[in-house]
Structure 1
Amino acid sequence: MNENLAHKIGTQVRSARHRAGLSQAQVAEAIQVPTLVLSRLERGKLLPTLPTLVSLCGVLGIPVAFLLGSRPPEVPAPPRTIQ
């Protein structure tokens, strides 16, 4: 298991869950996993499966890229011209 990735995802999930004002139990029920699984995920002790990752993003209203630690640029880059 990639511990850095697990920690990054867990931190982002916890942050998004807090911003949404949801408890671990509410999110766990919504994505149909035991609360213990969500707790371990938030602590970086478990990497989510792809279906769980997608479900989390749907429930929390965030893009998958956010959970992976990427942030969209503030201002879109101008289009490149290809010659």
Structure 2
Amino acid sequence: MTEASSRRLGENLRAARLSAGLSPVQLAVASDVHLATVTKVEQGTSLPSVSTLLKLAFALGRTASDLLAGVELPAPGPPRHSAHEIE
């Protein structure tokens, strides 16, 4: 993901948090995500894992898609196969 995409995700998260009337600490508690993670994602300096993104979205009453709105995602690569599938 690009730096601009990280910033956009952070902006979306912050806007959703403010719309919900939550402080960063309250969001961290409600989502069971470390405060440092919430802060870094909002600042656009860190990307959350899928599970963290889902926790944040759920705590805000949003979907992951809401938080990813306007974020340029990388194109999917070719399918991966396990060693057991390739013979």
Q: TM-score range by the shorter chain?
A: 0.7 to 0.9
TM-score (norm 1): 0.76
The runs of 5 or more residues in structure 2 that have no matched partner are: 71-87
1:21-74 CA-partner distances (Å, limit 9, x unpaired): 00100111122222121111101000010001011111111121111115xxxx
Q: Which residue of 1 aligns with 2:55?
A: 55
Structure 2 distance, partners of 1:52, 1:34, is 10
- Corresponding residue pairs, total: 70
Q: Which residue of 2 aligns with 1:43?
A: 43
Partner AA of 2:27 in structure 1: V
Q: Where do residues 56-71 of structure 1 align in structure 2 (5 Å cutoff)?
A: 56-70=56-70
Q: Where do residues 1-83 of structure 1 align in structure 2 (5 Å cutoff)?
A: 2-70=2-70
The runs of 5 or more residues in structure 1 that have no matched partner are: 71-83
